[in-house]
């Protein structure tokens, strides 16, 4: 059965994930370093991992399986989940695939290097209603395909 693993500490779409998961009857595991309030749903579990770099990421990668979905804004975590065969989607609705993850990592690394060497400011726009809508559409599409493929 498909599960949705959420890199929960900074996830702005938790409520949307819960809404879509209830429609498809899939479990949601929201993984974070601290207890998250207001995360409730029939199939929702909050998992608190020890504090430390990549603790939540490592827990997700250890648990995730090929039929699962990971929701994260962390591109290296998305890559690790893809390597295990899981689907991955970012908070703004971008689905990461084996074909797109390399470019996403390259852009991330380039921006990081520019910030370190120059007074570079990332001008990416803030999360908005269109991002939320795109995320809902992408997650719904992924779960629809997974459900169809398991029937």
- Tokens 């370093």 belong to 33
Q: How far apart are CA 145 and CA 111, in angstroms?
A: 33
pLDDT tens, residue order, the chain (151 aa): 899 999 998 899 999 999 999 999 999 999 999 888 777 888 999 999 999 888 999 999 999 999 999 999 899 999 999 999 999 999 999 999 888 776 767 676 677 777 677 766 666 678 889 999 999 999 999 999 998 887 6
Domains and CATH numbers, the chain: 3-150 (3.40.50)
Question: Residue 97 gets which letter from DSSP?
Answer: -
């Amino acid at each position: 059965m498909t599960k949705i693993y959420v890199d929960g500490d900074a996830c702005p779409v938790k409520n949307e994930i819960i809404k879509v998961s209830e429609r498809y009857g899939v479990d949601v595991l929201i993984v974070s370093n601290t207890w998250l309030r207001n995360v409730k749903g029939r199939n929702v579990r909050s998992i608190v991992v020890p504090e430390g770099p990549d603790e939540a990421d490592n827990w997700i990668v250890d648990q995730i399986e090929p039929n699962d979905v990971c929701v994260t804004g962390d591109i290296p975590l998305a890559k690790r989940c893809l390597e295990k065969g899981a689907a991955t989607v970012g908070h703004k609705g971008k689905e990461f695939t084996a074909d797109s993850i390399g470019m996403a990592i390259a852009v991330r690394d380039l921006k990081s290097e520019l910030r370190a060497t120059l007074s570079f400011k990332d001008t990416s726009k803030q999360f908005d209603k269109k991002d939320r809508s795109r995320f809902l559409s992408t997650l719904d599409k992924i779960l629809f395909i997974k459900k169809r493929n398991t029937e």
